[in-house]
Amino acid sequence: MKKDVPSRVSEMKRKFAIVLIMALGMTLAGLLVVVYAVPQMRPSLLSPPGESIVMGMYVNQTDTYHFESQVSAFFGALFQVRIEFFSEDLKLLTLGNETIVRIFPYSWQREVGKEGHVVWGFRIIAPSQPGNYTVNLRFIVSYWIFSQEYPQKILVSVERPKPPPPPEEPLLITLDKQVYTRGEYMTLTIKNRSNETIWFTNTAYNLCFERYNGTSWVLYEEIVGGALMTSLKPGETREVTWKLDDRTGSPFPAGRYRVGTKGIYVEFTVVRPMT
């Protein structure tokens, strides 16, 4: 019996070693599950929303917010969106044109499968006053005890639309210079930059001079031309040279003038000659 004691001890050591190896193996397997399997079970958005974005809008304009992403989910997932806050002056509508009331959080959700695809959005109606307004969102994908959240802040920047540029004048009138000496000759160029032929009742294109009297423009002199209907086709350019004298032959007095036709003018100045 005494001789069997060492063999029993050895057997116990062997069994203990086996149990220890099995325990270590199970621990390692558990670690592998934690390291590999658990993250795989945690769903995620492959195209997550940015933490903050800016939407530029004009007053009273309606625009659409759109979100779309693939969902990575080992067993499928629940996709949920919460509107946690939006400014009181904003009006939000579902894509079905139902009003989203300001009772927070407003929630929308749907089930998605493995490698699912989600699309969500809403409409924003900007207020009538310019300013910066806010919408706070939270996207959530979850499965069992696993979930991932993506907050997003939308800054809605509202401004008044800029007035349209004034329409281009059909005629372009230019001068060879802006300051003339009394009695000097002026060369004027007139161009039709419209898409239609423009007609005049004389060969001088109905050009006339006006003088500024300190408060308003008054007719001063007309360029004399033949009484013949004259046309200027689209893109055509003509030159007119005229001495800055009135009908009596006296030079224009020094002052501020403008020359033009059909309500389109270009200004110039007449000065006394240097002595």
Check the CA dihedral 6-12-16-22 and report its sign.
Answer: positive
What is the pLDDT, as a whole number, of residue 212? 96
Mean pLDDT taken over the chain:
88
Q: What is the pLDDT of residue 1?
A: 46
Query: Residue 47 phi/psi, 5° resolution?
Result: -125, 75
177-203 pLDDT per residue, tens: 999 999 899 999 999 999 999 999 999
45-159 and 171-271 in the same fold: yes
What's the pLDDT score for residue 6?
62
Domain boundaries, the chain: 45-159, 171-271
pLDDT at 26: 72
Superfamily of domain 171-271: Macroglobulin (MG2) domain (2.60.40.1930)
pLDDT digits (tens, 9 = 90+) for 29-86: 555 544 455 556 689 999 999 999 999 999 999 999 999 999 988 888 999 999 999 9
Residue 214 CB neighbour total at 10 angstroms:
6
The per-residue pLDDT for 19 is: 64
Q: How confident is the model at residue 102 (pLDDT cuts 50, 70, 90)?
A: very high
Q: What is this structure's pTM?
A: 0.56
Give the pLDDT score at 35. Answer: 47
Domain 45-159 has CATH 3.20.20.150: no
pLDDT-derived band at 164, boundaries 50, 70, 90: confident
